[in-house]
Amino acid sequence: MYKKTLAKKGILLFLFLGAFNIVYAQKNIPLDSAGKQLQGFYLAENVENLWLAGQHVNWETGVPDKPFATKSIKTHCSSFVASVCKQKGIYILRPPAHKTELLASAQYNWLFSTDAYQQGWRQIKDSIYKKAQELANRGYIVTAVYGNPNPKRPGHIAFIMPYEKEIDSLDEEGPTLIQAGATNKNFVSLKNGFKHHISDWNSATQDIAFFYNVNSK
């Protein structure tokens, strides 16, 4: 009788843990081995200490290169994205095709072009936040990009950081980013990362476009 009771308890525990894992998986966007590898690559870029605002930097390395410069020193989101894509063998608009100044808005416009499509870039058009995080978590390079309608003002661009994100948090804050910008962060929500560019969060996906590259894994 005692052994039967233990066996029943064991079966119940097994069923409970199985149900818990199913519920957990449904509530979180999983991170697979390719996503973990991409996350490690992003972290190794050391963006929180390179491509810093207020310095003129080498766009490929993020290292300061002109200590007395007064131009092209504000932020370097687009240079960081260009550098990472080059390292990964993925083309996105970059120097010398376009100068580093106001590059993010130029990248935004370019990503909608035939050239970008031929380079493997595809826009995410439905279930945007969820698909963007899912694709990054599977190891694809995914960008979130804003083109400023004022040609004299900067836009913004960032990568979706592979991260085991809670699905319920997506509507509230969007996917997780890694970015250079006014503040460089390895992990920051879309809502906070683009807060200087988006006035109404409820319509953010009308202003921010999301693209992934089919050749990036």
pLDDT in tens, 149-180: 999 999 999 999 999 999 999 999 999 999 99
pLDDT of 11 strictly over 50: no
Average pLDDT over residues 171-192: 97
pLDDT of res. 73: 80
Q: Is the pLDDT of residue 203 over 80?
A: yes
**Position 89 confidence tier, pLDDT thresholds 50, 70, 90:** very high
- The pLDDT score that the predictor gives to residue 6 is 41
Mean local confidence (pLDDT), 73-93: 96
Q: Over 80: is that where the pLDDT of 20 sits?
A: no
Q: What is the pLDDT of residue 51?
A: 98
Tell me what the pLDDT averaged over the chain comes to.
90
Which of 70-84, 117-131, 173-187 has the lowest average pLDDT?
A: 70-84
**Amino acid 72: pLDDT:** 82
pTM: 0.87
Q: How confident is the model at residue 26 (pLDDT cuts 50, 70, 90)?
A: low
pLDDT digits (tens, 9 = 90+) for 121-149: 999 999 999 999 999 999 999 999 999 99
Please state the rounded mean pLDDT for residues 53-57: 94
SS (H, E, C) the chain: CHHHHHHHHHHHHHHHHHHHHHHHHHHECCCCHHHHHHHHHHHHCCCCCCCCCCCCECCCCCCECCCCCCCCCCCCHHHHHHHHHHHCCCCCCCCCCCCCCCHHHHHHHHHCCHHHHHCCEEECCCCHHHHHHHHHHCCCCEEEEECCCCCCCCCEEEEECCCCCEHHHHHHHCCEEEECCCCCEEEEEHHHHCCCCCCCHHHHHHHEEEEEECCCC
